[in-house]
Amino acid sequence: MFWNLLLAHLLGDFVFQTDWMVKKRDNLWVLAWHASIHFVLMLFFAGQVRSVIWPFLLVLAIMHFLQDRIKINITNKRTDWVSKGFIIDQGIHYVIIWSVVYLFKNTTGSVEVAQKPSWVLVAIAYVCVSYVWFIIERIFNLSNLDYLQNINATKFSRMLSRTGLISLFLLLRTWTTAGMAIGFSNPYPQSEFRQKAMLTDISVSLIAMVFLVWALG
């Protein structure tokens, strides 16, 4: 169940959180909408136990709302803490998710909690190497405006490259088609950032492959 809720969190915090929502999150209604999206996604990925686990997920969504509010207040006062705040914030989110799952398991004894569907692990890898890394790389390069512009300009082509590497790994591992995205377009146009972008994407993809080897056993 932890992996299911982690996938819901990654989708809610990265894929379904638009730039408009990020800019407007000082507004409590926008922040509440963001937390509500998390709640709906967690309900969806909870599967058969959603009718039992929903109160725990509601608490998780409320805690997400409060934690984000605290983070926004801190980063508004300490703009130099954006990157550090992001790392700390995400780490706390993961710990809270694990804690809620642990509490639910020990409260209800649900067998479903211990399950670890392969498709969820693969989905996490794809989401991480595509949109999640796109956001993380932007956050870590906020002060490097030239490279930030390059990241935005090659957004989708580099996503395709990274997901293509994961697809190639899955293809070689399982001998099944996995959607060969690599080579679909040229994700690394000639620029001073070409080598950095290539090495970054290869590294991120390799980390995701190591995760899949470990997670899928």
Phi, psi of 162 (to 5 degrees): -65, -45
- For the cut 80, the answer to whether the pLDDT of residue 201 exceeds it is no
Mean pLDDT of 16-38: 87
User: Residue 185: what pLDDT?
Assistant: 45
Per-residue pLDDT, averaged over 114-119, amounts to 71
Structure letter (DSSP) for residue 217: -
pLDDT computed for residue 183 by the predictor: 44
**Helices (H), ranges, 50-193:** 50-77, 82-108, 118-127, 133-140, 145-153, 155-174
Give the pLDDT confidence score for residue 41 in this predicted structure: 94
Q: Which two tokens stand for residue 142?
A: 């906020």
More confident residue, 92 or 181: 92
- Find where tokens 């790392």 sit: 87
- In eight-state DSSP terms, residue 193 is T
Predicted TM-score (pTM) of the model is 0.79
Packing angle, helices 2-10 and 82-108, rounded to 10 = 150
φ, ψ (nearest 5 deg) of residue 117: -60, 135
Owner of token pair 């969806």:
44
The predicted-structure confidence for 49-84, as pLDDT tens digits, reads as follows 888 888 899 999 999 999 989 888 887 787 777 788
Measured distance between the N- and C-terminal CA atoms of the chain, rounded to whole angstroms: 17
Give 24's DSSP letter. T
pLDDT band at 25 (very low <50, low <70, confident <90, very high): confident
* C-alpha–C-alpha distance, residues 104 and 90, integer Å: 21
Q: Which of 52-56, 83-87, 174-178 has the highest mean pLDDT?
A: 52-56
Stronger pLDDT, 209 or 57, i.e. the higher one: 57
- Sign of the CA dihedral running 114, 118, 97, 208: positive
pLDDT band at 147 (very low <50, low <70, confident <90, very high): confident
pLDDT of residue 182: 43
What are the distances in angstroms from CA 206 to CA 155, 177, 187, 196, 201? 19, 19, 18, 15, 9
Between CA 209 and CA 171 the distance in angstroms is: 12
Mean pLDDT of all residues in 200-207: 79
Q: Mean of the per-residue pLDDT values for the chain?
A: 82
Q: Lowest mean pLDDT of 10-14, 83-87, 137-141, name the range.
A: 83-87
Q: Are 115 and 101 in contact (CB under 8 A)?
A: no
